[in-house]
Structure 1
């Protein structure tokens, strides 16, 4: 039986605050429930409710901006490009991870809209999560071109070889996939006596690892595969497919992970069936 120990002051408790905006003649009022947590207060998290006019608002990010501008300037969240490129505004929206700037209100049905921070990650404040470990895992796969060949001008690549990177390079590191993965939740920061930390790298980091393994200009394929040939780093993926369902760019990290596993089998000299 799995035992889970929640961090101190992590359980939602008490009644959240309620805010109500002005309703004009053509108002379309909806309730938005937002997770609120301020570690400096020493209090447990709460969920505040905001009844606000959504007439003329199409995206969840615009809704959050209106809540902050019109009802409660203390709500904290990340945002930047508003074009589905930077990955800053990834939240859990009505139970599913995704980008607020590309999630339309028409996709959320007619009931309340519930916005929470990404699962599993430590919360800095409200909807802002600490992605330090996520970025460390990305850095661990060495996401840059490595080649002993130093050309006079540039590394050339054929159009056919370039096509092998389609579906890999488009990742924006929003962390939606990794934080939707139960294997990522359960297999992080495992410490074994006398060994280094053992942890599953997660869909995002492994997708990026595959991107560099498949790059024809990189000649460190064997070294990259050897680095991933680890019980925890790679093989804690159980093909649950949550990563595919939530990726805002329509990528398939599970397929990339399966391909890395296949390449490792071939590297070991075994027959792939």
Structure 2
């Protein structure tokens, strides 16, 4: 289940169907969400046909092919094309994921439907406004807090201590998890969401950090942490295979343990 934030008083209408590319023997149909703040029109779904013999295997390859060969006005984010930067996160066939790591063959036969990440303001077409998402990440202060003197070489950490961070530091801030969470849809002004809370747990568990108490104090709030109801949409959506639900549960347990 996903929910989309549309411009006020608007509905999604059927849009333009572009002709199949000439000479193409094999094509794949793409249904893509289109909306521009400049044309004063309702959002629409445009239909494109990609020549699969002239295109790479990933959804992002298809989008780039459409932009290069059919419609240069199609707007989306992308950068690394390797599942590292998180730029090309979007909703593909009802699932939040990265267009660069999702193969067209992974989508069931029939049209491939692509929309922006759910329930975020749309800047244009497939580009969501993640201003609030990044602000929430910044609010957990994702850097080492220390009071002791800085060592001459480095802050030391044992192998076991370093392993505590596995499954936490790999987050690429693509926002797939947070935008798949109903609690985040309804309370994104106060609930930090899975991505920010995963990062918060990463710093709470870092043996080099000396502000654990202050970090937990920052999360001791009915909304910032406890709006999570553990439905695990975030874990299912994460394209890196991380488990934000577990990280959130660990934070809740730490808050309880320090009261005992």
In the TM superposition, what are the counterparts of 1:24-173 in structure 2 within 5 Å? 24=23, 27-55=25-53, 56-149=55-148, 150-173=150-173
In the TM superposition, what are the counterparts of 1:244-263 in structure 2 within 5 Å? 244-263=235-254
Task: Note the C-alpha offset of 1:138.
Answer: 0.1
CA distance in 2, matches of 1:235, 1:61: 36
Q: Does 1:201 align with 2:188?
A: no
Contact 1:244/1:252, CA 8 A, preserved across alignment: yes
CA RMSD, 1 decimal: 1.5
Size of the alignment, in residue pairs?
A: 255
Contact 2:133/2:175, CA 8 A, preserved across alignment: yes
Contact 1:117/1:126, CA 8 A, preserved across alignment: yes
Q: Which gives a bigger RCO, structure 1 or 2 (Cα 8 Å, sep 6+)?
A: 2
Task: Note the C-alpha offset of 1:225.
Answer: 0.5
Structure 1 unaligned regions, length at least 5: 190-198
Contact 2:6/2:121, CA 8 A, preserved across alignment: no
Q: Deviation string for 1:48-74 (max 9, x for gaps)?
A: 000221235310000000000111000
Q: Give the secondary structure class of the aligned counterpart of 2:183.
A: helix
CA distance in 2, matches of 1:88, 1:256: 23
Contact 1:23/1:53, CA 8 A, preserved across alignment: no
CA distance in 2, matches of 1:243, 1:105: 23
Task: Note the C-alpha offset of 1:28.
Answer: 1.5
Contact 2:5/2:118, CA 8 A, preserved across alignment: no
Which residue number corresponds to residue 178 of structure 1?
178
Query: Residues 6 and 80 (structure 1 numbering): CA distance in 2 closer, same or farther, change over 3 Å?
Result: closer
CA distance in 2, matches of 1:140, 1:5: 24
Task: Note the C-alpha offset of 1:23.
Answer: 4.6
Which residue number corresponds to residue 256 of structure 2?
265
Task: Note the C-alpha offset of 1:6.
Answer: 6.2
Q: 2:214 aligns with which of 223, 235, 241?
A: 223
Write out the 4+ residue segments of structure 1 that deviate beyond 6 Å after TM superposition: none
Task: Note the C-alpha offset of 1:20.
Answer: 2.1
Q: Give the secondary structure class of the aligned counterpart of 1:174.
A: coil
Contact 2:58/2:101, CA 8 A, preserved across alignment: yes
Task: Note the C-alpha offset of 1:11.
Answer: 1.9
